[in-house]
Amino acid sequence: MLAAVPQPIVAGLVAGIVSLIVAVLSFYATVRTVRAERQKLERELTRRLTERLYDLRLKHYPRAFEITEGLGKYAGRPPASIATEYQEHTESSGSGRPQRSLCVSRSIPWHAFTT
């Protein structure tokens, strides 16, 4: 059957098939390279953000522990005594009035500390 097909057409078909195979292989290699590069960049971004998170934690943990160190002392005590002690603490520290972010417990409204 190939004997009936002119030789230039056979050569063209072979060249076309080889070109398609090379194109598919090149596409596959490019997709894999792009995927690997994207994963590498995502890992790097995650590493940087984690590092930044650790830096922020190290910066703010001392203050957070300072704020929450007395929580165990407050267990089982009435909210009024907690508010009084907290108010005395804020007055002695020079801040003058408590701030919302310094609430001892979310179950006690922040305005309970101002009375």
Q: Residue 51 carries which side chain, given as an amino acid letter?
A: E
Compute the average pLDDT of residues 25-52: 96
Compute the average pLDDT of residues 9-26: 95
The pLDDT of residue 115 is above 90:
no
Q: How would you class 79 by CB atoms within 10 Å of its CB: exposed for 0-12, middle for 13-18, buried for 19 or more?
A: middle
Write down the pLDDT at residue 11: 92
Q: Which is nearest to 115 in space by CA: 75, 93, 66, 82?
A: 82
pLDDT tens digits, 43-61: 999 999 999 999 998 988 8
